[in-house]
Amino acid sequence: MTILKGKTAVVTGSTSGIGLACARVLAAAGANIVLNGMGTPAEVEKECSAIKSEFAVKAIYSPADMAKPIEIAGLIALSEATFGSVDILINNAGVQHVSPIEEFPPEKWDAVLAINLSAAFHAIRAAVPGMKRRGWGRIISTASAHSRVASPFKSAYVAAKHGIDGLTKTVALELARSKITCNCISPGYVWTPLVEKQIPNTMNARNMRRDEVISDVLLAAQPTKEFVTVEQVASLALFLCSDEAAQITGANLAIDGGWTAA
């Protein structure tokens, strides 16, 4: 399948997890890829080379820090200079901090808002002029079930993800006549190495079986009691890039095992 042949996709926070899965699925559909995120040079090189060799596309890596507006503008400029365009922008980089509101460190608030929300604004702002000139674009942000509902102790994350919902709707309306769609995807709990590593300790601490930890602790809020997979999120992102999704814009698409239906 090469529906994205000749297109270039910038995926922020794509050195692991959901972002890496999105980069690989878009590459499999023929897009050139700009990887971004934290990681050792060896790990980044491994993922970048794998994308190039497995999918016969071009790929580069930018270490731009999504907390820094000037580096975000540089990421878009580098992508345009290297490949001639940014046709698909996936705002995915994200961090979390968990703390009661009265103890929440202001610098953590600033960092979560910068990386999870302001980075999307800066990247969209930089990428839209080129998309408008070419008359085609897809902007997708990884939001969260926390863009629709809250959980205690996650004030910055919930505020940032609700902000992504509002930013998505606003940009979609502004670009509605420009053949550029803007949507966000809201996963529930996604199976990542980060989640997997918590399981043995929680089994010991609570004297629970693995399946009990998964369903009663980690997935307490998720009715299916199953994790979303990174591939499922990436497949939805790929669909949003297709011509069939041209009339989906301003949407916040839940992929959360029923969490936000409750």
Choose between 19 and 163: whose C-beta lies nearer to ligand NAD: 19
C-alpha distance from residue 148 to each of 45, 216, 226, 253 (Å): 36, 22, 20, 10
Measure the CA–CA gap between 164 and 147, rounded to whole angstroms: 7
Percent of the chain that is helix, strand, coil (3-state, to 5): 50, 15, 35
Distance of alpha carbon 105 from alpha carbon 211, whole angstroms: 35
Q: Name which of residues 89 to 108 contact ligand NAD (CB under 6 A).
A: 92-95
Site residues (CB under 6 A) for ligand NAD, limited to 110-149? 115-116, 142, 144
Whole-Å CA distances, 140 to 49, 110, 185, 193: 25, 23, 7, 23
**Total residues in contact with ligand NAD, by rule CB under 6 A:** 26
Q: In whole angstroms, what is the distance from residue 164 CA to residue 176 CA?
A: 18
Q: Which is nearer to ligand NAD, 7 or 154 (CB)?
A: 154
Q: Which of 10, 11, 17, 83 binds ligand NAD (CB under 6 A)?
A: 17
Distance set, CA 35 to CA 195, 219, 227 (Å): 23, 30, 25
Positions in 21-50 near ligand NAD (CB under 6 A): 36-38
**C-beta closer to ligand NAD: residue 3 or 113:** 113
Q: Closest separation between CB of residue 200 and ligand NAD, Å?
A: 18
CB of 219 to ligand NAD, least distance (A): 10
Residue 172 vs residues 18, 194, 245, 251: alpha-carbon distances, Å: 23, 32, 13, 9
Report the residue from 9, 66, 124, 236 that binds ligand NAD according to the rule CB under 6 A. Answer: 66
Active site residue 189: no
d(Cα 124, Cα 132) in Å, to the nearest integer? 12
State which of residues 4, 10, 11, 19 lies at the interface with ligand NAD (CB under 6 A): 19
- Which range binds ligand NAD by CB under 6 A, 54-62, 76-84, 173-181, 183-191? 183-191
- Among residues 22, 29, 190, 234, the one that binds ligand NAD under rule CB under 6 A: 190
Which residue in the block uniquely carries the two structure tokens 């901090």?
A: 97
Residues sharing a CB contact under 8 Å with residue 21, sequence separation 6 or more, in sequence order? 230, 231, 233, 234
Out of 4, 8, 10, 13, name the contact with ligand NAD by CB under 6 A. Answer: 13
Examine residue 259 and tell whether it contacts ligand NAD (CB under 6 A): no
Question: Given 55, 83, 109, 157, which residue is catalytic?
Answer: 157
Q: Given the rule CB under 6 A, which residues bind ligand NAD?
A: 13-19, 36-38, 65-67, 92-95, 115-116, 142, 144, 187, 189-190, 192, 194
What residues are annotated to the active site? Answer: 157
